[in-house]
Structure 1
Amino acid sequence: MFSRVPPFNPLYLDDWILYAVGWAALVMGVYAFAHAVTQRADAFTAAERLTKPAWLGITGGGAFVLMVFQLSSPGGMFWLAGVVAVTVYVVDVRPKLIEIQRGPRW
């Protein structure tokens, strides 16, 4: 994934920021896939989202793409697509699944 760590120099601050964003995106991708694996299959349909196998494919593919490509590489578009895929799961699907499985908060 990251073949080269930027030199520790203030002139390379932008490289360090991209390096940190890349690692944060990879962690989020692995977390999204792990969360999707541990959820019940009927919760996805109850939440009116795609099925569990579909989300496993989306988050697994997104995590894989985040491992293989970098934003600054020629495959940067794939990296962006992977970030969008796992972010949609974490921001939209995950809260709905938790709400469905937990029930009302009263």
Structure 2
Amino acid sequence: MQIISELQGWIILGLGLLALGAEVYALLHAVRQRPDAFVAAGKQTKTFWVAALAIATLLGFAVLGGGFGILAIIGIVLAGVYLADVRPAIDSIMGRRR
């Protein structure tokens, strides 16, 4: 039974690292974009997204290795919304194809 518990711990750590990676990637993408691209894409401002993603990254780091609580879920949802909705719209406005 200890082996199963240890395996679960490693899986949670791996998922936490993947989530943190997505949050960091989303934050870095938002920081590198022009502020007017967010408005042109019809999304919230750059300041909003950078602040939200910075908080998401901090939440992801804070719960790393400690399991998935509501804080981890909030962080990955914020990053997921940015990566699935905002990033493609900004890339389209900026003339980048994905």
Confirm or deny a common fold (TM above 0.5). yes
TM-score by length of 2: 0.86
Indicate yes or no: 2:49 matched with 1:55. Answer: yes
Q: Which moved more, 1:14-23 or 1:36-45?
A: 14-23
Indicate yes or no: 2:82 matched with 1:82. Answer: no
Q: How does 1:36-55 map to 2 (within 5 A)?
A: 36-55=30-49
Identity of aligned residues (%): 35
Alpha-carbon RMSD across the aligned residues, in angstroms, is: 1.9
Gaps in structure 2 of 5+ consecutive residues: none
TM-score by length of 1: 0.80
Gaps in structure 1 of 5+ consecutive residues: 1-6
Match of 2:12 in 1: 18
Answer 1 or 2: which has greater helix percent.
2
Secondary structure of the corresponding residue to residue 102 of structure 1: coil
State the structure with bigger RCO (CA 8 A, min sep 6), 1 or 2. 2
